[in-house]
Amino acid sequence: MHNDHRLSPAMRVVSEMPPLKHWPGHDQTFSITQSEVAQWLAAQPECLQFLFNAMKNAGVITFDLPTKKWVGIRCPDRPGAI
């Protein structure tokens, strides 16, 4: 057994992922939207929280207080964008 106490909640969930295919149609061009692994990860609330926190902490999304919405820093529709 691994040292679970050192894993984040998202990593703990992912460590229990069942066997899934990442590229189910090897005869086709790869598409992340067809990956069973990516679909499973996206369905896990802990993984979504991890991704959100990573983007927020990296500063690529910010909270706009007047609109009460999160927005990408390069979004052309961002409040105050030129």
Q: Are 37 and 22 in contact (CB under 8 A)?
A: yes
Look at residue 23 and tell me if it is in a domain. Answer: yes
Alpha-carbon span 76 to 54, nearest angstrom: 22
Q: What is the pLDDT of residue 63?
A: 96
Confirm whether 32 is domain-assigned: yes
Which pTM was predicted?
0.80
| The residue type at 17 | M
Alpha carbon distance 42, 20 (integer Å): 13
Count: domains in the chain: 1
Measured in degrees and rounded to the nearest 5, phi and psi for residue 63 equal -95, 125
Residue 36, token pair as written in the block = 């069973």
The pLDDT of residue 2? 60
Q: How many residues does the chain have?
A: 82
pLDDT at residue 5 in the model: 77
* Residue 68 in domain: no
Residuewise pLDDT in 10s, the chain (82 residues): 566 778 999 999 999 999 999 987 778 899 999 999 999 999 999 999 999 999 999 999 999 999 999 999 999 988 776 5
Please give the residue range of the domain that contains residue 14.
Answer: 4-56
